[in-house]
Amino acid sequence: MKKLIATLALTSSVGSVYAQVITDSEKARPSFKDYASKDTSYWTYGGILNIGGNQGLLHNWAAGGELASLTVNGIFNGFATYAKGNHVWANNLDLNYGLNYAYSYSFIPRKTDDRIDFTSRYGRKLADSSDFYLSGLFNFKSQFTRGYDYSLPEWQKMPTSNFFSPAYFTLAPGFEYRKGNTLSIFLSPLAARMTLADTAYTNMRKEGAFGIPYGKTSRFEFGAYFSARYLVDISKTISFRTRLDLYSNYLAKDTKDSNGVVVRKDNPGNITVLSDNLINFKFNKHLNVSVGLVLMYDNAIPYIGTYTDPAGMVQTKKEPIDGLGWIQIRQNIQFGLEYKFPFPKKETAVK
């Protein structure tokens, strides 16, 4: 765990910080300091849709390769913000989905990305000239469709996740330090989190799944939550955004099976870590290349390096980066078309 925290601290030093990634659309938002009038309210809203893909075809190609393939990815980042005087209500929605089709597995689609992430925050300045806010945060995370471990034989028969399995809900009162739209640091010492999942997934292993015990459909956590975000323009065509989430569950304890045997060790020191980083290169108004890297550590989601084959024999998995153990990694490079929705500012006089 110490090595993990050291690694993520190093990542943070070069710009890593996640909980809902700061999007380009957020950058277009007026600064909170722009809402100075107590007699005027503002709505700002907008979003970015990015669709990318990669297609390939080979015939009698001496160097070899996948005979035919197609990858399609879609990303949507949207926001809607209301502000009046020292009060701000900010809502963000991130949707990601990607599929890969290849001739070698009969063009049966395989997921490369799947994410639903919604965050709503309400904040009130502690003082007119202050950058500190008394805030409340709600976050929901899940996915669109079933997930599979494609390294397993007959993987179609063993889905590992689905929509609302898992579903994560976080409700956290706390304090936020915000510097314009480039830096946000939120801390809550009293954050409640609920994880939901169907027993079809929590009963797959004796230790359960997603931190939910075997045979159960939910898990309640109560602890401390930290979220930091940072956005910077490296140049006119290159931008970098990053986010870091940390969560410590005060109620964490070892999980035991029906016989009293410990099947998963846990304690409040097992901090859940999520670091999301994205660098974006723009060629023109609608063409861009993005490079993303997500690192996660969650003691409730261990790395299982073996599986049982149809014959009942225990086999060892083979992955390109098997040595990283429990750390979850998602890395991608996307070439795509980008469309920005308008960012109107609706101003209404308050009677």
Question: What is the rounded radius of gyration, in angstroms, for the C-alpha atoms of the chain?
Answer: 22
91 CB-near residues (< 8 Å, 6+ apart): 79, 80, 81, 118, 119, 120, 121
Number of domains in the chain: 1
pLDDT of residue 331: 85
**Would you say residue 10 has pLDDT above 80?**
no
pLDDT of residue 109: 95
Could you identify the residue written with the tokens 């898990």? 219
pLDDT of residue 6: 44
Distance CA 317, CA 325 (A): 12
Answer for the pair 191, 222: CB distance below 8 angstroms, yes or no.
yes
**Would you say residue 250 has pLDDT above 70?**
yes
**Mean pLDDT across the stretch 109-133?**
91
Structural domain span for residue 53: 2-349
Query: How confident is residue 244, by pLDDT bands cut at 50, 70 and 90?
Result: very high
pLDDT of residue 282: 86
Answer for the pair 46, 24: CB distance below 8 angstroms, yes or no.
no
Residue predicted with more confidence, 198 or 49: 198
Distance CA 315, CA 323 (A): 17
Distance CA 133, CA 121 (A): 11
Answer for the pair 117, 141: CB distance below 8 angstroms, yes or no.
yes
Output the CA–CA distances (angstroms, integers) from residue 235 to 140, 230, 240, 286, in the order listed: 33, 16, 10, 17
Distance CA 117, CA 143 (A): 9
Answer for the pair 204, 216: CB distance below 8 angstroms, yes or no.
no
Query: How confident is residue 44, by pLDDT bands cut at 50, 70 and 90?
Result: confident
Environment class of residue 137 by beta-carbon count within 10 Å: exposed (0-12), middle (13-18) or buried (19+)?
buried
Which range of 99-108, 249-258, 311-320, 329-338 scores highest in mean pLDDT? It is 99-108
Query: How confident is residue 117, by pLDDT bands cut at 50, 70 and 90?
Result: very high
Report the sign of the C-alpha dihedral through residues 252, 253, 257, 263, in that order. Answer: positive
pLDDT of residue 15: 32
Query: Rounded to an integer, what is the distance from CA 81 to the centroid of its chain?
Result: 21
pLDDT of residue 307: 57
Token pair in block for residue 213: 């015990």
Distance CA 264, CA 300 (A): 8
**Would you say residue 17 has pLDDT above 50?**
no
- Name residue 121's beta-bridge partners: 90, 137
**Mean pLDDT across the stretch 283-304?**
84
Query: Rounded to an integer, what is the distance from CA 14 to the centroid of its chain?
Result: 19
DSSP letter assigned to residue 59: S
Token pair in block for residue 74: 């879609």
Largest CA distance in the chain: 75
pLDDT of residue 70: 92
**Mean pLDDT across the stretch 281-298?**
87
Answer for the pair 340, 46: CB distance below 8 angstroms, yes or no.
yes
